[in-house]
Structure 1
């Protein structure tokens, strides 16, 4: 059963944001109140370990990725509200409890109840809802643990499970730099090819590049080429975080050295193999490559995405390679960029054609210094809720009452983060 974590301090913060956004557009505050409180009211339960388990929304499981994004905006008040800092700490503790169980899994059950995709041909267990290997499932918990420390000074999250999880993370990353010898396999017997891996679960061929192989994208769709560039960018960032944590808070020179070696190899791999050319012949980041000469020019509405590279911390917002890539992706050259009567933005092969993702619209606003562009993104978001005042996974660019996933907490919180950022409540990283 979920617990309502809204108290008077949280409500005061919501009222403050309502006040600040009122002169811009009163609707901003209305939607903020509903989305910001929704996660605290409906998705969090106290598990049997004393940790905080977070439902992704309308699927009864906790995603390692989503759960970070679902609480990240609460860092804006965690330094003043110990109860919120404690809640985020308990989320991190549950994430690393999960990671210690299986670093290859992307989603977990609250208890060892055997729910989820138990017929998949992979090493499933009763705690695991789904075992699609996605690099970001390992990156996001490290990001949240580090940002909690950076913004509040809290270190309780750096417990034994954290250390165990990090060691498993590093071993997994090192293994998947040489995927041909990896023990990981994933096969699902379905009509939808995006839900399984080719070659008896090994995936399409790749060459060793220094980068980390990923079976699946953050959409939970299979990678076409095994090196997912935005996920590897994210890995570079969190490997830096680990070096800080294990030298400044914890003392483990071996983990620092392993993280540094990995970080250098992955960054070099991205900068050597991770580019392609756009229609104008300009050098831009590819979405996926295989190290064998193939590259995918596209982006996906999920995060990590190429659009999100400076948000993640991989590069500067004004980096020329990023800016060329951004301009290419926010154009029809990206096969998943759609434009209609209501909005324009990035969609995903995971959702229908001509449906775009509120997460991607929010990310456009979070990766610009232009207040006008931030406000434009916010206006698009509050006007495309299908009358619900909540965000959805995706919506039709010509009719926002046609949407996917009625209850999608990650998207709600990305709207909140954009509004908070626009109003000056920035999360230090």
Structure 2
């Protein structure tokens, strides 16, 4: 089976380039096309079983989260394009297989090769590149499955999506009582402390709150406290989509179960995942333990607090979100950096004073005016070190100092922002009333 390797001639892309050119900078459209083509031509590997394996870029593994976000911009291009639709279906089917194989793993190999980030990890499964359990690894494929259906009306993938959702719900319910029910452990002897979990691999102790526990953040760094707020809200949104798909498939039991868990996660996050900031009032914390401790920060990776309108269906005008956004985009947030080249959010995962292009794109996508989106596009182009690619991170004063020369997720985020800026983005396809 072969899949499309170029979208240069796609009518929606051509229209997007035309509208972007009208903004006055021809690089906007050229970079959009380059980023979309790069993902198709270089990251996707057709598999003998008809699925598609998607590398994250310069690491030869498939991340459940990254592969979902790498596909998100193409949702806007699916209408009247069966070949592109079949590609996304193939990616989804691969993800469903991977979750069925090991729902606690975050990244997989194309074959049972035994390749791994660290061969000495507890998990010795030859299919698994890394078994860092992250709530978002399960949430993003469910989000993609629902958004694909909303964009196309196709239901080929729905049985697989609903079967996957049952597995995911079981894991999330187990991890609502992590201390008592979970058998998951992660220990890594080599590397920084952020690469392993304390307490004999169980993680920092947490109270039972109704939130679901996560060992690691979307950055693949260990959670300080296992109740990650944006991940829980993202999970609730993924369950909303699952409930809608299940209703469409007349699976009332699953629809009710998904809706019930979504409500539990939201209620628990509202109760335990918010704090009162002395200058901003009520806002979201990044992580909590249910024992009164909280981490106040944001991380450039999604799901993060800044990205809640994109991953959790929270309106950009929501007062709690707006207060959180003001915190996140200020020096009060320890991961926010301001330099001579740019300002924006970074991550403890990368060197200090480094800003992530993903976070710049998210800031533009969650802005309430076009001017801020155009500003974000301009910043992304001015900080690519002349490579025409979005990197993982760059130094706030010198974009020539960057991490990861090929990071497809960041390219996808540029594409999402560019399409959204000219009114051809994906959100109208699936977001209702937000």
Q: TM-score range by the shorter chain?
A: over 0.9
Aligned residues: 426
- 1:287-328: CA deviations, max 9, x gaps? 000000000100000000000111123321111111011001
Distance 2:7 2:301 in 1: 33
Task: Map residues 96-175 of structure 1 onto 2, 5 A cutoff.
Answer: 96-117=96-117, 119-159=119-159, 161-175=160-174
Distance 1:405 1:3, change over 3 A: farther
> 2:83 is matched with which residue?
83
Gaps of 5+ in 1: none
> For residues 238 and 58 of structure 1, do their structure 2 counterparts lie closer, same or farther at Cα, with a shift above 3 Å needed?
same
Structure 1 equivalent of residue 230 of structure 2:
230
SS at match of 2:246: helix
Question: Which aligned runs of 4 or more in structure 1 are off by greater than 6 angstroms?
Answer: none
Structure 1 position 240 matched with structure 2 position 269: no
Helix, strand or coil for the counterpart of 1:178? helix
Partner Cα separation in structure 2 for residue 313 and residue 370 of structure 1: 20
Alignment RMSD (CA, Å): 1.6
Matched, 1:390 2:370: no
Map of 1:25-424 to 2, 5 A cutoff?
25-117=25-117, 119-159=119-159, 161-181=160-180, 182-248=182-248, 250-280=249-279, 282-424=281-423
Deviates more, 1:219-228 or 1:3-12: 3-12
Query: In the alignment, is the contact (CA less than 8 A) between 1:3 and 1:42 conserved in 2?
Result: no
Q: Decide whether the 8 Å contact of 1:285 with 1:325 is kept in 2.
A: yes
Deviation of residue 60 (structure 1)? Answer: 0.2
Q: Distance in 2 between matches of 1:406 and 1:205?
A: 37
Between 1:208-217 and 1:110-119, the stretch displaced more is 110-119
Contiguous gaps of at least 5 residues in structure 2: none
CA shift, 1:157, in A, is 1.3
Counterparts of 1:313 and 1:206 in 2: how far apart (Å)? 23
Q: Is the 8 A contact 1:121 1:185 kept in 2?
A: no
